[in-house]
Amino acid sequence: MALPARTVGQGFPSLAPSKPASSLLATTSAALPISSGCPSLDSLLSIHGDGLPPASILELLGPPGVGKTRTALGFAINPRFGALERGDSEGEVLVVDAEGSLSPTLLHDTADLYAEHNHRGPTSATEVCQGIHYRRIYDASLLVAFFYSLPTWLAEHREVNLIILDSLSSHLRPTSLDLNTKNLLFNLIKSTLSLVTAQYGVSVITTTYLSLKLFSPEGLPSHFTQRNAEALLIPQLADSWIPVSRGGGGEVKRVVLYFDEHGERMAHLVASTSPARVTSVGFTMDALGPCDHPPV
């Protein structure tokens, strides 16, 4: 069983005709929110607690090993099974793997486990994977080509309503990239994500790292040899790549995943352009992805 051999083209984007704001708002309102399969996490993402609103951007941040990839995977697998239940021809997903963590094998195995856990036949897992498009990004040049070609590809695959960019920061953190190059890349990412969420109504979920930085008591950058330096975890990509919310239904959210002092998984909403039901939740993880703690 293999994922469909569909890849994103390498051409430059040809922009689709513009649409009136009322049309974009109506399309967004008709679409369903995207659930992670974990009610606690979903409650961070909207006032209704039902998941990520359509045409929104979600950044999942955290240190290595905290479960960012597995959490993003929940947003891919759970809605795909939901679309099959509804007989929905849309609800497909584009998975962009920038570091090799979100592999086709992991996607297949998780879909099989989900089907088995929910007493579905193997055919349903196959159908789920047929609606997942996979793209591996090996370096910064492929990342640039991907973002340039994404609008054209989405115009040809209108059934896709979710893009998952796993480890977006992996090709943007090398010291070989100078500041001007990084700024150009950030502007490309920002403009492309703004276009595809507004024009095609897709949601975008990215995973990025937190970096350890040292600061002096005065809040200035410091180093290990300075006394009283304070270590802080900050977003590796800052926020220069994140589009400003358009106010047409799409939202922008940043959620930090971490372990608390007792080793429990936590998620905290650090930024959002709309209110949420809660701002901090505990959750756990199993082979299917994020889930609520079992009742005591």
The pLDDT value given to residue 218: 66
* CATH number of the domain located at residue range(s) 34-291 in this protein: 3.40.50.300
Distance between CA atoms of residues 154 and 83, nearest Å? 19
The pLDDT value given to residue 2: 37
**Domain-wise residue ranges, the chain:** 34-291
Distance between CA atoms of residues 188 and 204, nearest Å? 15
The pLDDT value given to residue 256: 95
Q: pLDDT tens digits for 21-38? A: 444 444 444 578 999 999
Taking CA atoms, 82 is separated from 77, 79, 88, 121, in Å, by 9, 5, 8, 15
Distance between CA atoms of residues 94 and 115, nearest Å? 20
Give the confidence band of 264 by pLDDT, cuts at 50, 70, 90.
Answer: very high
Dihedral sign, Cα of residue 210, residue 174, residue 168, residue 70: negative
Distance between CA atoms of residues 209 and 177, nearest Å? 17
| 1 closest CA partner among 162, 117, 111 | 111
The pLDDT value given to residue 55: 94
Distance between CA atoms of residues 275 and 290, nearest Å? 22
Q: Is the pLDDT of residue 64 over 50?
A: yes
The pLDDT value given to residue 67: 94
Q: Is the pLDDT of residue 153 over 60?
A: yes
Share of the chain above pLDDT 90, in %: 54
- pTM, 2 dp: 0.84
Give the confidence band of 223 by pLDDT, cuts at 50, 70, 90.
Answer: low
Give the confidence band of 8 by pLDDT, cuts at 50, 70, 90.
Answer: very low
The pLDDT value given to residue 177: 78
Q: pLDDT tens digits for 93-133? A: 999 999 999 999 999 999 999 998 887 877 788 999 999 99
Q: Is the pLDDT of residue 152 over 80?
A: yes
